[in-house]
Amino acid sequence: GQQLNQSPQSMFIQEGEDVSMNCTSSSIFNTWLWYKQDPGEGPVLLIALYKAGELTSNGRLTAQFGITRKDSFLNISASIPSDVGIYFCAGQLSGTASKLTFGTGTRLQVTL
């Protein structure tokens, strides 16, 4: 099935550093979503993007819907220990009203 290429696969950073991750696809997406998953929990929605070029913030998180509609990035500023987890991008492909395609995830570790 359709894959979203998410990078990096994992990141080890120090508390206070900024983080950037992205998702790319060869297909056009109508919607981009970013989720965070804590160990043993279900993913929680962080940011939703609906228009090409849209830039949206949620606290220390900022995400953008790429102008080509084939990519998106998520930035986390001034990371803290509770940012640890797996971050997933997800997108709704043009023409698929019911399904989301998920990226492979970025595992974030924050050291003190």
Partner 1 sequence: SQTIHQWPATLVQPVGSPLSLECTVEGTSNPNLYWYRQAAGRGLQLLFYSVGIGQISSEVPQNLSASRPQDRQFILSSKKLLLSDSGFYLCAWTAYTEAFFGQGTRLTVV
What residue ranges bind partner 1 (CB under 8 A)? 1, 30-31, 33, 35, 40-45, 48, 50, 88, 90, 92, 98-100, 102-105, 107
C-beta closer to partner 1: residue 77 or 92: 92
- The rounded distance, in Å, linking the Cα atoms of 94 and 92 is 6
Q: How far is the CB of 53 from partner 1 (least distance, A)?
A: 18
C-beta closer to partner 1: residue 28 or 50: 50
Q: How far is the CB of 31 from partner 1 (least distance, A)?
A: 4
